[in-house]
C-alpha cells in the first residue's frame, strides 16, 4: 500500500510534467510558468517528505541551468551567500558552547536561582531554554534540557505527596514549557532558527536590504518575552490551578548535576569569552565602526570571526588542544544550510521571473479587504501550515508571494513579511510540528490531545500578537511607513542576465 511519501515521490513529478504541457498564462510567460511548476514540485516533496528535505533543496541547482532559468554560478551563489555563513558561524559557536558543557551550566544555574516552588521551577526552565535557544539550535536545547527537567517532573509524580492529578499536570506543563520556550527563544535572534536567516537572506539577495542583528532583536525580544509570559501563565494558572508546595528534592537534583560539572575549566572560561565577544559585536558593531578607521563589520563576518577564534584559542597550550577541533564540525546541521540555500534560490527565481508578482496580483485584486485583516490571515495561514510542513520550507515557498501581495496593496513588504517570519516558528499543536515538540512528546508525560489543546490556544494568541506587532514594532524599529511602497521594493521585477535581480 502506498504511503504519503511514495505518493509525493511519484505524484509530484507526474503532476509537474502534466502541468508543464499546458500553455503559460499570458501575464506570466513560459519561464515564469516553469519556475512555478518547479516550486510546486519542491512544495509537494517538502510537504510529503518524499526525500530528505535538504535533497529537495538541490532541485534548483539542477533544474534552473537545465531549463535556462539561470546559470550554475548564479544559482549556486544562493547556497553560499553571506546568510549561509552567518548561520554556519552561529552553528559552530553553538557547538563550542556544547562541547564545554556551558549550555548545561547556564541552564542549571538559571533554574537553581528561581527557587523550588513548581511555578517558579517552570519559569526557570523556560528562561534557561529560551536563552540557550537564542544561540544554539532549539533541538539541541531541548535534548539537553530534557534530562534535567524529567527527573524533576518524576520526583513529584513518584512521591505522590498531595494531589496526584495536580502533580501529573505539573509534569505535562514542564514538558510543554521546555518545547515552547526553546521554539520561542529561537525567534529572538537572527541565528536562533533557520527561518530568521531565510527572512534576512531573502531581502538581502533580492532587494539589497540588510536587517542587522540588533534590529532583529529589538523587534523579536519583546515579542518573545510576551509569548513566554503568556505561555507561563497558561501552563501555571490554567493547567495548574491549585497551589503546589516547594520541594527540597528539586534543589538536590539541580545541585547534584552542578556538582557533577565541577568548577569552570579554562576551556569553559575562554569559550564564554568568545561567545560574549561575538554576541557583543553582533549587537554593538554599529557603535564601534566609527572608531575602526573605515573598517566595516557585518553579521556574517562576525559569526565566522567568532567561529575562527574557537579553532585558534588553546584550551591547553602545552598539550596543543584548542577550544574546538575540526572533527567537532560533524555536528553542524549541514542539511539546514542546503535547505536554506535551496529555499533562497527558489524564492529568488519566483521574484526574478514574475511568479511572485503574478500570484500577489491575484490576491491583491481583492483591494476592498482591510490590510490588517489580510495580515492576520497571512499569519494564520503560515502558523497552521507550519504545523504540517517544515517552517523553512513554508517560508521559502510563500515569502515571495507575501511580499508581492504587500506591494500590490501599496504597503511596505516588511509589514507583512516580519510577522510571517515569526509565524513560521509558532507551531505549538502537534508533535510533528517542531523537533522540540517531538522530543518532549517522547517523555510520555504529554499526550497528543494535551499538546493539541494547549498549542491551539497558543497559536491563536500568537496570531493576534504578531498581527499587532506588525503595526507597532516594525513601524518604529525598521522605520516602516504605512501605506507606502519603499524605493527598494519596486512594483515590478526585472530579470537580469544571470536570472537574478
Q: Of 320, 347, 278, which Cα lies nearest the Cα of 136?
A: 278
Cell matching residue 463: 496570531
420 secondary structure, DSSP code: H
Average pLDDT over residues 62-75: 92
* CB-based contacts of 34, cutoff 8 Å, min separation 6: 20, 67, 69
What is the reported pLDDT for 6?
87
What proportion of the chain, given as a percentage, has pLDDT over 70? Answer: 92
Q: Please report where in the chains the cell 491551539 appears, as a residue.
A: 456
pLDDT at residue 265 tops 70: yes
In the three-class reduction of DSSP (H, G, I as helix; E, B as strand; rest coil), residue 25 is classed as: coil
User: Tens of pLDDT along 142-189?
Assistant: 988 888 888 888 876 665 555 566 667 888 899 999 999 999 999 999
What is the dihedral angle through the alpha carbons of 415, 417, 421, 423, rounded to the nearest 10 degrees?
Answer: 60
The torsion angles phi and psi of 316, rounded to 5 degrees, stand at -150, 105
Average pLDDT over residues 32-45: 91
Q: Of 84, 298, 329, 290, which Cα lies nearest the Cα of 201?
A: 84
Give kind and range of the element (H or E) at residue 181: helix 164-187
What is the reported pLDDT for 312?
96
**First and final CA of the chain: distance in angstroms?**
46
Contact 306, 274 (CB under 8 A): yes
* CB-based contacts of 255, cutoff 8 Å, min separation 6: 112
* Residue with the larger pLDDT of the pair 1 and 161: 161
pLDDT at residue 497 tops 50: no
Q: Of 390, 400, 387, 386, which Cα lies nearest the Cα of 336?
A: 390
pLDDT at residue 362 tops 50: yes
- How far apart (Å, rounded) are the C-alpha atoms in residues 200 and 82? 10
Average pLDDT over residues 62-84: 91
pLDDT at residue 69 tops 70: yes
Q: How far is CA 90 from CA 135, 154, 275, 318, 422, in A?
A: 7, 34, 10, 29, 19
Among the ranges given (108-117, 121-130, 270-279), the one the predictor scored with the smallest mean pLDDT: 108-117
What is the reported pLDDT for 501?
34
Q: Of 193, 160, 171, which Cα lies nearest the Cα of 125?
A: 171
- How far apart (Å, rounded) are the C-alpha atoms in residues 418 and 325? 37
pLDDT at residue 495 tops 50: no
- How far apart (Å, rounded) are the C-alpha atoms in residues 408 and 312? 51
- 68 exposure class (CB count in 10 Å sphere: 0-12, 13-18, 19+): exposed
User: Tens of pLDDT along 201-259?
Assistant: 999 988 888 888 988 999 999 999 999 999 999 988 887 655 666 666 777 888 888 88
* Residue with the larger pLDDT of the pair 452 and 296: 452
SS3 letters across 297-360: CCHHHHHHHHHHHHHHCEEECCCCEECCCHHHHHHCCHHHHHHHHHHHHHHHHHHHCCHHHHHH
The angle subtended at Cα 48 by Cα 68 and Cα 433, nearest 5°, is 120
**Across all residues in the chain, what is the average pLDDT?**
86
In the three-class reduction of DSSP (H, G, I as helix; E, B as strand; rest coil), residue 156 is classed as: helix
What is the reported pLDDT for 472?
84
- How far apart (Å, rounded) are the C-alpha atoms in residues 398 and 381? 10
In the three-class reduction of DSSP (H, G, I as helix; E, B as strand; rest coil), residue 2 is classed as: coil
This prediction's pTM: 0.85
Give kind and range of the element (H or E) at residue 199: helix 194-207
User: Tens of pLDDT along 386-443?
Assistant: 888 888 888 888 899 899 888 888 888 999 999 999 999 998 998 888 889 989 998 8
Q: How far is CA 292 from CA 17, 57, 215, 299, in A?
A: 56, 39, 21, 16
What is the reported pLDDT for 493?
41
Within 208-329, residue ranges assigned H as helices are 213-233, 248-261, 266-288, 299-312
Average pLDDT over residues 447-467: 91
* Residue with the larger pLDDT of the pair 448 and 116: 448
28-31 contacts, C-beta under 8 A, 24 or more apart: 28/354, 28/355, 28/358, 29/353, 29/354, 31/67, 31/68, 31/69, 31/353, 31/495
pLDDT at residue 273 tops 80: yes
Contact 138, 183 (CB under 8 A): yes
Cell matching residue 445: 508525560
* Residue with the larger pLDDT of the pair 114 and 133: 133
- How far apart (Å, rounded) are the C-alpha atoms in residues 268 and 261? 11
Exposure class string for 255-292: b at 16+ Cβ within 10 A, else e: eebeeeeeeeeebbebbbebbeebbebbbebeeeeeee
Exposure class string for 223-242: b at 16+ Cβ within 10 A, else e: bbebbbebbbebbbeebbee
- How far apart (Å, rounded) are the C-alpha atoms in residues 99 and 265? 12
Residue 22: band (very low, low, confident or very high) from pLDDT cuts 50, 70, 90: confident
Q: Please report where in the chains the cell 509569548 appears, as a residue.
A: 227
What proportion of the chain, given as a percentage, has pLDDT over 90? Answer: 38
Amino acid at each position: 500500500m502506498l504511503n504519503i511519501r511514495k505518493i509525493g515521490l511519484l505524484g509530484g513529478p507526474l503532476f509537474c510534467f502534466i502541468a508543464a504541457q499546458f500553455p503559460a498564462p499570458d501575464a506570466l510567460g513560459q519561464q515564469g510558468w516553469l519556475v512555478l511548476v518547479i516550486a510546486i514540485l519542491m512544495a509537494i516533496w517538502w510537504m510529503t517528505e518524499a526525500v530528505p528535505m535538504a535533497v529537495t533543496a538541490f532541485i534548483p541547482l539542477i533544474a534552473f541551468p537545465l531549463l535556462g532559468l539561470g546559470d550554475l554560478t548564479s544559482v549556486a551563489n544562493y547556497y553560499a551567500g553571506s546568510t549561509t555563513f552567518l548561520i554556519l558561524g552561529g552553528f559552530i559557536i553553538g557547538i563550542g558552547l556544547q562541547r564545554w558543557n556551558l549550555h548545561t551550566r547556564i541552564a542549571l544555574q538559571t533554574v537553581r536561582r528561581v527557587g523550588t516552588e513548581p511555578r517558579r521551577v517552570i519559569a526557570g526552565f523556560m528562561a534557561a531554554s529560551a536563552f540557550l535557544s537564542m544561540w544554539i539550535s532549539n533541538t539541541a536545547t531541548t535534548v539537553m534540557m530534557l534530562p534535567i527537567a524529567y527527573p524533576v517532573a518524576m520526583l513529584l509524580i513518584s512521591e505522590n505527596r498531595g494531589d496526584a492529578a495536580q502533580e501529573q499536570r505539573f509534569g505535562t506543563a514542564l514538558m510543554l514549557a521546555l518545547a515552547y520556550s526553546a521554539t520561542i527563544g529561537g525567534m529572538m535572534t537572527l541565528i536562533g532558527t533557520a527561518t530568521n536567516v531565510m527572512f534576512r537572506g531573502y531581502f538581502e539577495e533580492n532587494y539589497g536590504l540588510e536587517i542587522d542583528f540588533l534590529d532583529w532583536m529589538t523587534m523579536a525580544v519583546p515579542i518573545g518575552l510576551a509569548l513566554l509570559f503568556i505561555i507561563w501563565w497558561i501552563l501555571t494558572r490554567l493547567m495548574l490551578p491549585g497551589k503546589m508546595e516547594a520541594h527540597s528534592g528539586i534543589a538536590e537534583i539541580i545541585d547534584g548535576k552542578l556538582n557533577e560539572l565541577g568548577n569552570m575549566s579554562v576551556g569553559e572560561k575562554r569559550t564564554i569569552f568568545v561567545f560574549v565577544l561575538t554576541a557583543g559585536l553582533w549587537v554593538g558593531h554599529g557603535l564601534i565602526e566609527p572608531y575602526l578607521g573605515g573598517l566595516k563589520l557585518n553579521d556574517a563576518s562576525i559569526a565566522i570571526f567568532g567561529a575562527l577564534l574557537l579553532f585558534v584559542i588553546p584550551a591547553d597550550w602545552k598539550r596543543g588542544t584548542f577550544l574546538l577541533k575540526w572533527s567537532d564540525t560533524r555536528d553542524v546541521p549541514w542539511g539546514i544550510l542546503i535547505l536554506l540555500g535551496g529555499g533562497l534560490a527558489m524564492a529568488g527565481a519566483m521574484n526574478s521571473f514574475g511568479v511572485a508578482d503574478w500570484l500577489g496580483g491575484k490576491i491583491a485584486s481583492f483591494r476592498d479587504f482591510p490590510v490588517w485583516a489580510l495580515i492576520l490571515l497571512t499569519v494564520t495561514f503560515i502558523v497552521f501550515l507550519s504545523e504540517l510542513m517544515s517552517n523553512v520550507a513554508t517560508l521559502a515557498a510563500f515569502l515571495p508571494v507575501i511580499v508581492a501581495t504587500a506591494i500590490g496593496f501599496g504597503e511596505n513588504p516588511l509589514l507583512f513579511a516580519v510577522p510571517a517570519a515569526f509565524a513560521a516558528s509558532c507551531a505549538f499543536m502537534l508533535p510533528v510540528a517542531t523537533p522540540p515538540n517531538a522530543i518532549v512528546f517522547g517523555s510520555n508525560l504529554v499526550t497528543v490531545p494535551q499538546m493539541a489543546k494547549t498549542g491551539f490556544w497558543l497559536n491563536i494568541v500568537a496570531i493576534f500578537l504578531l498581527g499587532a506587532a506588525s503595526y507597532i514594532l516594525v513601524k518604529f524599529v525598521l522605520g516602516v511607513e504605512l501605506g507606502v511602497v519603499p524605493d527598494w521594493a519596486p512594483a515590478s521585477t526585472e530579470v537580469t542576465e544571470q536570472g537574478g535581480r
